[in-house]
A and B are shown apart, each in its own frame.
Chain A
Amino acid sequence: MTQTITPHKKRGRSRVASTIFYICLVIWPILQFLVFYVWINAKSIIMAFQVYDDTGAMHWGFGNFALVLTHRADNPNLDDVIRGGAMSLLSYALTVVVTIPLGLFSAYYIGKKMPGSGFFRVVLFLPSIIPEIVLVVLYKYFVINALPDYMAALGWQNFGDWLSKSNGATWQQQYFMVMFFTLIITGFGTSVLMYSNAMSKVSVEVLDAAKIDGARGWSEFWHIVLPAVWPTVMVFLVSGVSSIFLNQIHLWSFYDYDAPVQLQTYGYILYHESTEIITTSAVNDSKANILSAFGLLMTAVAIPLTFLVKWALQKIGPKED
């Protein structure tokens, strides 16, 4: 007996097939998200409130938070926590004051197709693909060994001495700050490409109108280009805030376990301590829980701060007239 398939049945089968196909597509990302995002973060919050005493017994409470605020795991006092925050903020401030303006001006030059702009576009992007550890290795030995010779050739004979002892800072800090500053100014390549792409969307009519009104150079940049790329700048500023507490400012690459306490950021402290909870067989529960509390405290600051900065930038940022 032949079975007749009506169009209605056909549509029904096709809908079932589509639904099954859709489920196959989204089942993995949903499961992965539930396990590796929801579970991990929920577990992290729970761990922050699990306190282990000397006998290894677990209690619930705020003991880990108290330990973080008073001892920061194994360092002696609250000063270190404050200092860590200061260095983290300094790295963000340098991004705002140095990296973003340099990126914007470079993008403006490239976006205007000024001489050599194609070449500079490639050069500015180059440091973004070079491994961080390679840049650190090169800068470290270059600054320590070769730079004093080059500076001497340029007439600054005492550069090596200045680098190794001055201003009450240790030679390690002094070297680091020179290298860190160099890394900061070489680290804006990707942002240049993004800014220049955003700038390219400025309509030619607006530019012509501005030109007729006498806007050139700085005036054109400030009144026309900057408002147009402001949403892109905001992305960098806001994402910078959210990564204040994760930024290691290359300390791990420079110093591994031994970064001077005065230079440590929260990002470095978290990574450093995380490497120490690894043992060959298991995670050391007590330290893991203290770190979870540390992370939760940082998150509690980072979330409102991120939204506050986003709100403020929307309010005070330049607007296209």
Chain B
Amino acid sequence: MEQATTQTQVVFHKKKKAKHGFSAMHVIMLLFLIIYTFLLFLLLFWGLMTASKSIHDWIGWGEDPNYAGFPRYWIDDTTGQPAFISNLQRVLRHSTYTKSDGTEVGIGTMLMNSILYSLGCAFFNTLVPFVTAYACAKYRNPVSKILVTTAIVVMSIPIVGSTPAALLLTYQLNLYNHIWGQWVMKANYLGVYFLVFYAAFLSQPKAYHEAAVVDGASDFAVMTRIAMPLCMGEFGTVLLINFITFWNDYQTPFIYMPDKPTLAYNTWAMMSRMSDADLSYPPSVIMAAVILLVPVLVLFLVFQKRLLQNIDIGGIKG
């Protein structure tokens, strides 16, 4: 399916590649995109610069405050270390959270929580629609039809405000305050990725499956050795998108597992704890943001091609 759709795409692009007919609209868009890019990079660069500033540099203390410029002093005079390292240490020292039972957790635990939450939720939130889509595409019976129809109907009905009932259920099922509780809640088949996987499985030639059956392959073997490997590209892309989504999410853990703080939660909490003397300067909080951003940026740089090539309506190309 992907190959079929890209054929016209390539022709369209090749044709246009030969000659750039600039119209007024293209010039305006080019200017807009240049300004956009400049502002985005300015923001990221400013963030990195600020995370490298000492408190002395930021406030001024006898000089003008240095909010916008390059760092004036690379060494933090209060610690005698590079300002970047000092800010990092300050964030690590203050990344603590007191749980409901009074015990305190540090940034190591938060990192572990982030990894477990993001990886687990991403895996189950990808695997369940993947397997269900295969079942619906391969076994065309009334149950499969109901599952597909339900997925479409649920997507078009907006339901607001069911969080209290969901919270109540997590209490009753003992899922509240557990990371695995979130894995269970996210292990649903609903959503646009189910339809994407469904379309991908439907487009597979039946001859592959039939040949395997003639050779004596079981249902399980057909699924795991023929059908799923052919859709691993889509699976990988959705897994990656889901991982980034859950890594960045701090609101769900805040409500459903308050005693399992993640790194994203820590960044938010640091911003709202600016009254703490040691955290009352933006360089420290921005350093916390940098710590959260680095893994996502690395993932993006490594898998950029896969993410950008496979994205289509609702997420990925079917």
B165 and A47 contacting across the interface, CB-CB below 8 Å: yes
B165 and A33 contacting across the interface, CB-CB below 8 Å: no
B11 and A146 contacting across the interface, CB-CB below 8 Å: no
In chain A, what residue has the closest Cβ to B245?
Answer: A129
Contacts of A302 in B (CB 8 A): 158, 160
Beyond A113-B16, A131-B292, A245-B158, whether A275 also contacts B254 by CB under 8 A is yes
A283→B167 CA distance, assembly (Å): 7
B135 and A26 contacting across the interface, CB-CB below 8 Å: yes
B264 and A133 contacting across the interface, CB-CB below 8 Å: yes
Q: Decide yes or no whether B40 CB sits under 8 A from chain A.
A: yes
> Nearest Cβ in chain A — how far from B303, in angstroms?
10
Q: Decide yes or no whether A150 CB sits under 8 A from chain B.
A: yes
B248 and A132 contacting across the interface, CB-CB below 8 Å: yes
Beyond A194-B311, A197-B311, A283-B167, whether A120 also contacts B46 by CB under 8 A is no
Task: Pick the interface stretch among A34-42, A77-85, A90-98, A161-169.
Answer: A34-42
A114 and B158 contacting across the interface, CB-CB below 8 Å: no
Partner of B67, one of A127, A146, A270, A283: A146
A242 and B158 contacting across the interface, CB-CB below 8 Å: yes
> Nearest Cβ in chain A — how far from B151, in angstroms?
9
In chain B, what residue has the closest Cβ to A299?
Answer: B160
Contacts of B113 in A (CB 8 A): none
Of the listed residues A35, A134, A270, A275, the one surrounded by the most CB atoms of chain B closer than 10 A to its CB is A134
- How many residues of chain B have a CB within 8 Å of chain A? 103
B286 and A106 contacting across the interface, CB-CB below 8 Å: no
Partner of A289, one of B67, B68, B164, B220: B164
Partner of A283, one of B32, B168, B244: B168
Q: Decide yes or no whether A112 CB sits under 8 A from chain B.
A: yes
Q: Which of B163-179 contact A (CB under 8 A)?
A: 163-169, 171
A288→B167 CA distance, assembly (Å): 9
- How many residues of chain A have a CB within 8 Å of chain B? 112
Q: Decide yes or no whether A249 CB sits under 8 A from chain B.
A: no
A307→B8 CA distance, assembly (Å): 33
In chain B, what residue has the closest Cβ to A243?
Answer: B158
B26 and A197 contacting across the interface, CB-CB below 8 Å: no
Partner of B167, one of A28, A102, A271, A277: A277
Q: Interface SS of chain B: helix, strand, loop or mixed? A: helix
Q: Mark B124-151, 1 if CB is under 8 A from A, else 0.
A: 0000100110110001010110010010
A18→B222 CA distance, assembly (Å): 11
Q: Decide yes or no whether A66 CB sits under 8 A from chain B.
A: no
B50 and A141 contacting across the interface, CB-CB below 8 Å: yes
Q: Decide yes or no whether B258 CB sits under 8 A from chain A.
A: yes
Contacts of B190 in A (CB 8 A): 33, 37
Q: Decide yes or no whether B230 CB sits under 8 A from chain A.
A: no
> Nearest Cβ in chain A — how far from B248, in angstroms?
4
B161 and A122 contacting across the interface, CB-CB below 8 Å: no
In chain B, what residue has the closest Cβ to A291?
Answer: B164
Q: Decide yes or no whether B197 CB sits under 8 A from chain A.
A: no
Partner of B293, one of A131, A150, A287: A131
Beyond A26-B132, A116-B33, A299-B159, whether A131 also contacts B296 by CB under 8 A is yes
**Further 7 A-B residue pairs, CB within 8 A, beyond A271-B251, A299-B161:** A29-B188, A109-B26, A112-B26, A116-B33, A137-B288, A138-B286, A246-B158
- Spell out B's residues near A (CB within 8 Å): 5-6, 8-9, 11-13, 15-17, 20-26, 29-30, 32-33, 36-37, 39-40, 43-44, 46-47, 50, 65, 67-69, 100, 128, 131-132, 134-135, 139, 141, 143-144, 147, 150, 154, 156-169, 171, 184-185, 187-190, 218-220, 244, 247-248, 250-251, 254-255, 258, 264, 267-268, 271-272, 282, 285-286, 288-289, 292-293, 296-297, 299-300, 304, 307-308, 311-314, 317
What are 18 A-B pairs with beta-carbon distances under 8 A? A22-B141, A33-B190, A114-B30, A116-B30, A137-B286, A142-B47, A194-B314, A197-B312, A200-B13, A218-B24, A241-B158, A274-B255, A278-B255, A283-B171, A288-B164, A291-B161, A291-B163, A295-B159
